Structure formats: C-alpha cells, structure tokens
Amino acid sequence: MRTASIILLLFIAGAPHPVWAKDNQGALNNTKTVNRAFKSGERLQYFVSWSKLLKAGVATMEVKRETTPQGRDIYRITSFARSAGIVSAFYRVRDRVQSVMDVKELCSLSYTVDQVHGKRKKKREMLFDHEHKTVTVTENSSKSTYEIPARAQDPLSSLYYARTRDDLAAGESIIVDIHEKDKTWSVELQYIGKETVKTSAGKFKTFKVKTYPKYEGVFQHKGEIDIWFTDDDRRIPVLMKSKVALGSIVVTLEEMKVGE
C-alpha cells in the first residue's frame, strides 16, 4: 500500500540517486503555460488495487483556488490516500499531501507531507523561492536549503503542470524538473498513443504516456508509471499503473467533479 499511495505523486516512484545538472536547460523543461485543464472545485476519487485483484485503498485529489493575504492567487491541491479492505488489517496507511501552486506562473510555492505508514510517521515541508532558485526543506526539526532549476515543481504539482502542456497532448514528449526532499531530477513523459479506457466513472478517449526518471544524462527504466489522460482540454488522469515486485499497482478513476 505504500507504493499505492506514492503512485499518486506519479513521478517519484523508485528513482534511485537522481541528480540535476546545471546545464540541463531546466527553464526549457518547465516552460510557462496557460491552464485550461483544471479549476477550483475539481475533485477526483480513485480506487487503488493490486493487479486489479485486491483492493488496497482509496485516494482523492482536490483543487481549490484561493487568494493569500498578500493578494497572490494560488491553487491549493490536496491529495488524500488511505488503505482499505484487508490491507488495513496489516498495514494502515493515512497520507495527506498538499501542494500550493501560483495561478499565474503554475509552479510550486510549497509542498507538505503528513504520512502514517504502519507504525511509521513522517512530516515534511518544502518552501520554494523561485526568485533565488532555492528550496528550503524542513523535516524532523532539521532544515536544509538546496538549489533548484527555474520553475521547478514538487511531486504533486508536477501532475497538474503536465496537464497544462499542450505539446504533450499534441503527441510530443516533455521533461519536467521535480524536487522532493534533498534531490531534484528530470522526468521524461513519453507520449505513447491514443486508447479508449473504461472505468466506473465512464468511458474515456485518452492518450497514454510513460514516465522515465532521468539522471546523469541517461534515461534509466526504473520506477516507470503509465498514465492515461483524457484526450480533451481537461486531461484528467483516469488510469495509472506501476509495476512492483509482484504484479502491479493500478489506480483507477471512480468518481469525478470537474469544478465549480
């Protein structure tokens, strides 16, 4: 179930020792876009299963548009994941992950993680300073600051940012720079093709992409995730799959509210 909750963060599953090189032209990876894909009030609920055989959990992602006291317009994106069924009996999971994105720039401003995995608990906060291209990470009262490329994303905002990329929907592959904890790495989203996907939420025309963590200039095929986005302006992720040691974790859209 730990993998099932992580898959909702999409691009961070299992990439060992990623690095970011200063000459990777990160500003090109994180091109400024216009959001036509999601809006305030969107709520997506997912069924998480192991190889489509065993119910492992339920997860939701919600978007709210707000204005800070300083007058800045933001998207507050919150992901909840919990174990369910027989899985909860031997490995209880309760995850709350929140990303704050700037509405105009569509890059991450902050990222917080509050996790309970069995007997383990974890809390982490990341604050992005895009003017100085740094991120400050606080975990267990320890605080560190790291360099980041221009317009870097966090693991959750990266999904919503990818939904705004017209070049991906048009059949091209893109690269997104993502920071989490003490690492920044580049992730390729490779366009695969169009497919029709049926879930309990409906029948959807989609385009499929595959993610590849990239480090040291070489694409390593580890931690791959297949994602099916609706082939329309909303680009809602309706299906996600990730291989594990035995079988695969499958995340399937159950219910959706597209916004206010």
Residue 131 clears pLDDT 80, i.e. is over it: yes
- pTM listed for this prediction: 0.87
Residue 17's pLDDT is what? 33
Which residues are bridge partners to 255 per DSSP? 45
Query: pLDDT class for 4, splitting at 50, 70, 90?
Result: very low
Which of 66-70, 145-149, 189-193, 217-221 is predicted with the least confidence, judged by mean pLDDT? 217-221
Which of 126-130, 162-166, 207-211, 246-250 is predicted with the least confidence, judged by mean pLDDT? 246-250
Which residues are bridge partners to 240 per DSSP? 227, 251
Q: Domains in the chain: how many in total?
A: 1
| CB neighbour burial string for 193-214, b if at least 16 within 10 angstroms, e if fewer | eeeebebebeebebbbbbbbbb
Tokens of 76: 């507050």
CA–CA gap between residue 110 and residue 133 (Å, rounded): 13
Residue 140 clears pLDDT 80, i.e. is over it: yes
Range of the domain at 111: 2-257
Query: pLDDT class for 221, splitting at 50, 70, 90?
Result: very low
One-letter identity of residue 224: E
